[in-house]
Amino acid sequence: MTTLSSDQLLAIHAATQKLLPDAINFLTELVRIDTRNPPGNNYRKIVELIGNKLQSFGYDVKYVLLTPEETDELAPHGEKLERINVIGVLPPSASSTSGKIIHFNGHVDVVHEGDISRWNFDPFGGEVKNGKIYGRGVSDMKGGIAAQIYAIETLSAAGLKLRGTIEQSAVVDEESTGIRNAGMGYLVEKGYITKEKTTAVIITEPLNSGNVCCGHRGTIWGDIIFYGKSSHGSMPALGVNAVQNCAKFITIATEELSVLHETKRDPKVIPVEAQKASLAFTVIQGGTNTNSVPDICKVSFDRRLVPGESLDQARSEIHSILQRLASEDSNFKYKYEERYAVEPVWVDPEQPLSCIIRNAIQTVTGIESGVVCSPGSDDQRFVVQGAGLEACIIYGPGNIKNVHCYDEELSLEDLRIAIEVMAIGTAELVGLE
Ligand SMILES: [Zn+2]
């Protein structure tokens, strides 16, 4: 399985235990910086904290700052706050090099804490209790950033010299999605990660430390606007009721597509509730007053695609129902609009990168690694679809079920396991002296 000697494995294991308190302290510092997005608070503060840490570990550090024009274009939700990312490059410590470059990536932004009264811990406190750390972003994904940095520091503490280059990036605006964005999307567009240069990318999102995640589902977010004709509510026959046309579409689409989506399942998606393709109608706006027939009604929808489906197929399912209803009724008028769309991502789970991390999981935990697909989209799409680099997986500490929720937590043992897995995996990927 592993090509490392038992002495090397023991040294790595001992180093993870020695460095874990430092990794926890660093994670606490990260959590204490409020980086809620939107709008994207304190990005400079957090990327400088990470940059300084990388510099202290011997990395060459570069900050990638967007211009105000780029910020307006790529982060329209960002209230003109600064968008800045950091990249650290650690040259090989061995005398002979393998020429390989492994890039670790995490996002610094977090989602809002929600109703503060429902937290039992300070969301920006990083409190440690009973073997867990609590706070917004401990799992998604400041824990991953701490793990990716301390995995490499573990190898150095174990006295092992790497034959390849390590890159670490911490980026903004993952949580705000976008076909393009100011974080990982921007780094890919600017050529910091390329198919030609980069050997492999590991994004340390929380898909459970016992799993290698090889992809994510696709998404379409859009609106359908129904147009009618207003009339007095006492004479509805004189008008065309846009709310009723909207309701008719929702009813028919839900009935017909839920049957179809039953057949579109991917058992690799976690959690199990996300294994099916789905269409959810999420917001309705229509009508102005009780005694007027509404002439406009808008419904927002969230369509999730499993690997194997395509955006074009998913769109045509919706369009064919709309077109049929319009052909049956000349008063059924609508407009279809999309705000965000991304194809599902799935990379080969048998590729070397994935096999090496799966083996490392087995070495550390004694349990066979899972191969999973993420329910939502993440920055993997920029690397796989944007840069065309297939050697990109998700691996990090934390449980996907325990993110974006109250009392977000991360088990400290899970953090340590992820550090050890990535340390062993990196040694295998780039080679040791
Ligand atoms: Zn995340």
Calculate how far, in angstroms, residue 140's C-alpha sits from the geometric centre of ligand 1.
4
| CATH code, 218-342 | 3.30.70.360
DSSP string, 363-379: HHHSSPPEEEEESS--T
Task: Give CA–CA dist 191/197, Å, rounded.
Answer: 9
Calculate how far, in angstroms, residue 137's C-alpha sits from the geometric centre of ligand 1.
8
CATH level 3 topology of 6-216+344-430: Aminopeptidase (3.40.630)
Contact present, 55 and 17 (Cβ < 8 Å): no
pLDDT value for 401: 84
Nearest CA-CA partner of 111 in 41, 168, 186: 41
Neighbours of ion ligand 1 (CB under 5 A): 140-141, 205
Calculate how far, in angstroms, residue 360's C-alpha sits from the geometric centre of ligand 1.
23
Going by pLDDT thresholds of 50, 70 and 90, the confidence category of residue 402 is confident
Q: Residue 346: in which H helix or E strand, if any? A: strand 345-346
Task: Give CA–CA dist 4/16, Å, rounded.
Answer: 16
Calculate how far, in angstroms, residue 63's C-alpha sits from the geometric centre of ligand 1.
21
Calculate how far, in angstroms, residue 89's C-alpha sits from the geometric centre of ligand 1.
23
Query: What are the two backbone dihedrals, phi and then psi, of residue 181, each rounded to the nearest 5 degrees?
Result: -150, 175
Calculate how far, in angstroms, residue 46's C-alpha sits from the geometric centre of ligand 1.
16
Can you tell me the mean pLDDT for 370-386? Answer: 97
**Cross-strand partners of 90:** 166
Residues of the chain with CATH 3.30.70.360: 218-342
Structure token pair of residue 348: 């080969």
Task: Give CA–CA dist 179/341, Å, rounded.
Answer: 7
pLDDT value for 367: 97
Task: Give CA–CA dist 257/264, Å, rounded.
Answer: 11
Output the 3-class SS for 6-75.
Answer: HHHHHHHHHHHHHHHHHHHHHHHHHHCCCCECCCCCCHHHHHHHHHHHHHHCCCEEEEEECCHHHHHHHC
Model pLDDT for residues 106-140, shown as the tens digit of each residue: 999 999 999 999 999 999 999 999 999 999 999 99
Calculate how far, in angstroms, residue 34's C-alpha sits from the geometric centre of ligand 1.
15
Contact present, 210 and 365 (Cβ < 8 Å): yes
Calculate how far, in angstroms, residue 142's C-alpha sits from the geometric centre of ligand 1.
9
pLDDT value for 283: 96
Calculate how far, in angstroms, residue 177's C-alpha sits from the geometric centre of ligand 1.
10
Residues of the chain with CATH 3.40.630.10: 6-216+344-430
Calculate how far, in angstroms, residue 428's C-alpha sits from the geometric centre of ligand 1.
26
Contact present, 353 and 213 (Cβ < 8 Å): no
Under 8 Å CB-to-CB from 289, ≥6 apart: which residues?
A: none
Which amino acid is it at 272?
V
Model pLDDT for residues 239-295, shown as the tens digit of each residue: 999 999 999 999 999 999 999 999 999 999 999 999 999 999 999 999 999 999 999
Calculate how far, in angstroms, residue 423's C-alpha sits from the geometric centre of ligand 1.
21
Calculate how far, in angstroms, residue 378's C-alpha sits from the geometric centre of ligand 1.
7
pLDDT value for 99: 95
Calculate how far, in angstroms, residue 377's C-alpha sits from the geometric centre of ligand 1.
9
